[in-house]
Structure 1
Amino acid sequence: MSSTTTTSTTTETPKVLRLRPKVDDAMPLPPFEYAHIFDEANYGDWRDELATKGWTVVKGAVPRERALSYRERMFEWLESFPLGFKRDDPSTWTNEHLPVHAKGGMFWSYGLSHESFCWDLRQEQGIIDAFTKVWGTDELVTSFDAGCIMLPGRTDVKDDQPWEHMDQSRHRRGFYCVQGIANLNENGPDDGGLMVMTGSSQLVEEYFDTFGRTYEKERTFGAFDYWMFSDEELKWFENKGCKWVKVTAGPGDLILWDSRALHYNVRPKGEKDRCCTYICMAPAKLQTEEDKRIRKEAFEAERGTTHVPIGHVYSRAFTPSVRDGKPDPLDTGRPRDRIPQTDKILKLAGIKAY
């Protein structure tokens, strides 16, 4: 696949779909010291796939049986809500019996980011080792991202259309973040999971250099490190040779992808549930004092954040979920166990220095 292009004054700008940023569109971004680590594939391991394809699967980052036990704990979490959900009763697999979620199973509130199974997963050595390999340091901080439980056969999901996007600002140049999914169930071609446009991570800058970095249509989602693509924009990448791939993985595999890669998720088509947590880590030294303050507040309030562990201007802590137009009392007033204040957790949280 070639990454070169020829432009002219007659180049037609694709129709765009823009999401309103929360910060000034023209604000300057400081140079990023890791921007060029995936410019070339010269590692001799799975990092070469990150450089060329934009994604990879780290096999067995978590032992299989332990990964399946995490899945059990996630279902126990769902059944702990007084909404009548039962994993062995498909009639309860509806919005009425589930906490508020998006895309048929993405949960981000209710303190899920700080449940013990999420923190146990973040402390799995195989997961830490993978991010250590990406960044070249084991002194890492983690995102307070949440998880996904997608149940098969649901007919009440309204927001299940593809939402092709990348989780990186169009103003950034080079690599900025690698995202991760800790996979907790068998995930084959017909099971719910991650769709990635292979090769797109290396072409996004060429795209924006060609067609510009302004937006035309405002929508409600406001994360800075986010860009949603229209059908016309997607066609440009397809014409460059990029192809959509459904990532397959087993329990305990860690799926990693460059935030520049176009991606979205799909719900199960078969009989298996999709169960996973989202994990993203970056070097602790990249935190600013404001990063530390915001992360400490989110940690103590047991609130989640976006996937980016660094860069306070661009991240945000999630607010309580809304049900029937009001903050869900199951989110704002649900009794919870406090997060263990261990040395390892406090360092990963960015509260204690390495």
Structure 2
Amino acid sequence: MPHYESEPKIDTNLVTGDWREDLFRDGFVVVKGVLSPETADTYKQRMFQWLETFPYGFKANDRSTWGKEHLPEHMKGGMYHGYTVQHEKVIWDARTEPAVIDAFAKLWDTKELLVSFDGMNLTLPAANMPPSTPWPHVDQNPKRKGMQCVQGILNLAPNGLEDGGLVVMKGSHKVNETFFKLHPETPGAGTWGSFDWHGFNEEEVEWFKNRGCGEIKVCADPGDLILWDSRLIHYNTLPVSDNVRAVMYICYTPAAFASKEDLEKKAGYFHGRIGTTHWPHANIFHQEDKHMRLGNPDTFRRDRPVVEPEETDLVLKLAGVKAY
């Protein structure tokens, strides 16, 4: 385990005069117009094309095929982390969009960044979609102090109050450390290891609400970038509307934050086209593809992307393969 007291983090007391102050204060922010609506729509269409590469009968222009029986395995209505999706060219193309990188470079005050090997979400309205159950959680170990990771959603379709998407508890990042000090008996709080995910029950959520942390459904337009502190309580909710939710999970942190060992591990996962967590510089462990679908062993497997990413100089640096 690292020595948490000396881990790198951002100074959230900075006066910036821009969206960074909203992020520091509220724990989340929507950075408007990072991509054009036209570019965002192109990425969404490429995500649909990816679904059509599977042998389950999905057709983007036939809504009768939008049910789970025609889709590859996913979770929470549309989160895809299997089938090496993390290394599809469409996601790597989005990760190398200059304006997306620039937003994180502005936050961390460096362009020498690593990117996460995370997945995507394409939630399709369908009659057989199960009810949405909130799963409020944080993605940062309380032993890690301060803002060390800021998660990102690149939003690719209109996303309003009824369209499903990210729900946050505004300001909960500021009382995160206090909560875990007062609740040392919380399952998992004393045995985190390298695992940085923690879910909250209803009573624990009430503790945060009683301290002014209200739930907010975050809305965004195509091409917006949603950012949030990994200490912020959040979850995703399914759409009530008939609209598609299309997003990519993209997160960057300074390459200088990573240890030599984690860089080597990350590079190996890139070469093996293996997905990890949303953490770019730490928590470098792979997302296991259990090869299950609809509760049974999947009849189809994929160990390499359909379209391999182009291994440019920038891609190799973001992947931790090549030094800056």
- In the superposition, the TM-score normalised over structure 2's length comes to 0.93
Amino acid at match of 1:186: P
Secondary structure at the counterpart of residue 330 of structure 1: coil
Secondary structure at the counterpart of residue 96 of structure 1: helix
Measure the CA separation in 1 of the matches of 2:133 and 2:41. 29
Deviations 1:219-256 (A, max 9, x none): xx996111111111111110111111111111110000
1:1-354 correspondence runs (5 A): 29-35=4-10, 37-38=11-12, 40=13, 42-157=15-130, 160-212=132-184, 214-215=186-187, 224-311=195-282, 314-323=283-292, 328=298, 330-332=300-302, 336-354=306-324
Structure 1 residues 154 and 48: alpha-carbon distance in aligned structure 2, compared to 1, 3 A threshold: farther
Measure the CA separation in 1 of the matches of 2:15 and 2:157. 32
| More displaced 10-residue stretch of structure 1: 63-72 or 83-92 | 83-92
Q: C-alpha displacement at 1:211, in angstroms?
A: 2.2
Structure 1 residues 307 and 216: alpha-carbon distance in aligned structure 2, compared to 1, 3 A threshold: closer
Deviations 1:81-132 (A, max 9, x none): 1110112322212221111000010001112111111011111111101100
Structure 1 residues 147 and 236: alpha-carbon distance in aligned structure 2, compared to 1, 3 A threshold: same
Contact 2:113 2:254 in 1 (8 A): yes
Secondary structure at the counterpart of residue 300 of structure 2: helix
Q: C-alpha displacement at 1:197, in angstroms?
A: 0.5
Amino acid at match of 2:314: K
Measure the CA separation in 2 of the matches of 1:341 and 1:216. 39
Measure the CA separation in 2 of the matches of 1:41 and 1:49. 11
Contact 1:224 1:315 in 2 (8 A): no
Aligned-residue CA RMSD (Å): 2.2
Contact 1:100 1:321 in 2 (8 A): no
Contact 1:111 1:331 in 2 (8 A): no
Unaligned regions of 5+ residues in structure 1, if any? 1-22
- Taking only the aligned residue pairs, the percentage that are identical comes to 44
Unaligned regions of 5+ residues in structure 2, if any? none
Partner residue in 2 for 1:6? none
| More displaced 10-residue stretch of structure 1: 286-295 or 113-122 | 286-295
Q: C-alpha displacement at 1:62, in angstroms?
A: 1.2
Deviations 1:269-326 (A, max 9, x none): 1111000100000111122121122112211121211000112xx3311122422567
Q: C-alpha displacement at 1:262, in angstroms?
A: 0.3
Q: C-alpha displacement at 1:164, in angstroms?
A: 0.2
Deviations 1:23-48 (A, max 9, x none): 8xxx853522325x12x362111011
Secondary structure at the counterpart of residue 201 of structure 1: helix
| More displaced 10-residue stretch of structure 1: 333-342 or 254-263 | 333-342
Measure the CA separation in 1 of the matches of 2:117 and 2:193. 18
Measure the CA separation in 1 of the matches of 2:305 and 2:250. 25
Contact 2:8 2:257 in 1 (8 A): no
Partner residue in 2 for 1:3? none
Structure 1 residues 80 and 189: alpha-carbon distance in aligned structure 2, compared to 1, 3 A threshold: same
Aligned pairs, how many? Answer: 322
- In the superposition, the TM-score normalised over structure 1's length comes to 0.85
